[in-house]
Amino acid sequence: MFVFDTILHRAKHGCQTMAYPHGPPPALPERHGGALRVDATKCAEGCNACVPVCPTKAIIREPGKTVALDLGKCIFCAACVEVCPTHAITQTKDHRMAVRRREDLILGEPGAEEIRLAAALDGKLKKLFGRSLRLRQVSAGGCSACEADTNVLGTIGWDLGRFGIQFVASPRHADGLLITGAVSRNMELALKKTYAAVPAPKIVIAVGACAIAGGPFIGHPQILNGATSVVPVDLFVPGCPPHPLTILDGLLRLLDRLGQK
């Protein structure tokens, strides 16, 4: 009877996996401001109100230059948005934030008011990983927030496996690494060995402000300020933590799977 009850329950509720990316994405929570936008032309001359309130020093403004916001360091506390008198820094409510190059996360220069989103893998790598990607997740000193949002992608609502993307237990069975955490000195050797154990060619994805630049721990003597200090990185997904939708969007962009059945 239990088996039939289960089948009946599933039939009653129908498919619970979201239609995205072939349908609209789920709405972000109200408290999630999404990606930031920086219009440096709105900065008042001599105003540095946003600089001292940033807890990770993600905002700088050098004399005679426009304000620059590093979304790789940003923990999305929105303190800068609240104090800016001219609304030069605004929240876009856009979940899309993943980039291929670290420098593409720096906003403020003319033509770089918004994030330059990630392009797909090229040539051989796209052919190898475009239909099937196995990742070994490494928490290199994380608080479990980014790890939790990554795990959400395996639930029935998101069903990451439908895109051919799966997490595996051994780096020897993986095509690449998905790294979270600020990369503590205690995890440096473990991360190096895990990377070395992944067969070539391989890719690396840094998820969250900690894995990109150290997050709120940036500059601490026991922190290496992100994954790039140890291994090469192919995709950066900012956030603290990134929303599961932001992580999924980055993965699909990397594999050129957005809009594909």
CATH number of the domain where residue 58 is located: 3.30.70.3270
Instruction: Specify whether 87 is located in the same domain as 142.
Output: no
State residue 62's pLDDT score: 83
Q: What is the pLDDT of residues 183-241, one digit of tens each?
A: 999 999 999 999 999 999 999 999 999 999 999 999 999 999 999 999 999 999 999 99
Instruction: Specify whether 140 is located in the same domain as 227.
Output: yes
Report residue 207 as tokens: 């998820």
List the one residue out of 172, 165, 178, 177 whose CA is nearest residue 132: 165
E strand or H helix that includes residue 135: strand 133-139
Determine contact, residues 206/227, Cβ cutoff 8 Å: yes
User: CA 93, 99, 104, 106: dihedral to nearest 10 degrees?
Assistant: 50
For residue 218, give every residue at least 6 positions away whose Cβ sits within 8 Å of its Cβ, in sequence order, or none.
56, 57, 73, 182, 225
In a domain, 68, yes or no: yes
Instruction: Specify whether 218 is located in the same domain as 148.
Output: yes
Instruction: Specify whether 146 is located in the same domain as 72.
Output: no
In a domain, 261, yes or no: no
Instruction: Specify whether 144 is located in the same domain as 100.
Output: no
State residue 261's pLDDT score: 45
List the one residue out of 78, 93, 90, 76 whose CA is nearest residue 42: 90
Last residue of a domain, one of 107, 135, 164: 107
- Residue 104's Cβ-side half-sphere holds a number of Cα atoms within 13 Å equal to 16
Last residue of a domain, one of 48, 80, 107: 107
Instruction: Specify whether 167 is located in the same domain as 138.
Output: yes
Instruction: Specify whether 164 is located in the same domain as 70.
Output: no
In a domain, 225, yes or no: yes
Instruction: Specify whether 100 is located in the same domain as 176.
Output: no
State residue 104's pLDDT score: 96
**Given strand 106-107, what is the order of strands in its sheet?**
59-60, 68-70, 106-107
CA-CA distance, 194 to 171, in Å (whole number)?
A: 6
List the one residue out of 55, 97, 106 whose CA is nearest residue 217: 55
Number of domains in the chain: 2
State residue 9's pLDDT score: 65
In a domain, 156, yes or no: yes
Instruction: Specify whether 55 is located in the same domain as 166.
Output: no
In a domain, 114, yes or no: no
Provide the residue range defining the domain that includes 50: 36-107
Instruction: Specify whether 230 is located in the same domain as 142.
Output: yes
Last residue of a domain, one of 107, 133, 156: 107
Report residue 74 as tokens: 């940003």
In a domain, 51, yes or no: yes
Instruction: Specify whether 139 is located in the same domain as 235.
Output: yes
Determine contact, residues 208/142, Cβ cutoff 8 Å: yes
Count CB-CB contacts under 10 A for residue 225. Answer: 18
CA-CA distance, 205 to 209, in Å (whole number)?
A: 12
List the one residue out of 76, 71, 65, 11 whose CA is nearest residue 41: 65
Q: What is the pTM of this model?
A: 0.92
**For the domain that residue 220 is a member of, what is the CATH number?**
3.40.50.12280
In a domain, 26, yes or no: no
Q: What is the mean pLDDT of each run of 10 residues along the chain (261 residues)?
A: 68 78 89 93 87 95 86 96 94 96 92 90 89 96 96 94 96 98 97 98 97 95 96 98 97 86 45
DSSP 74: -
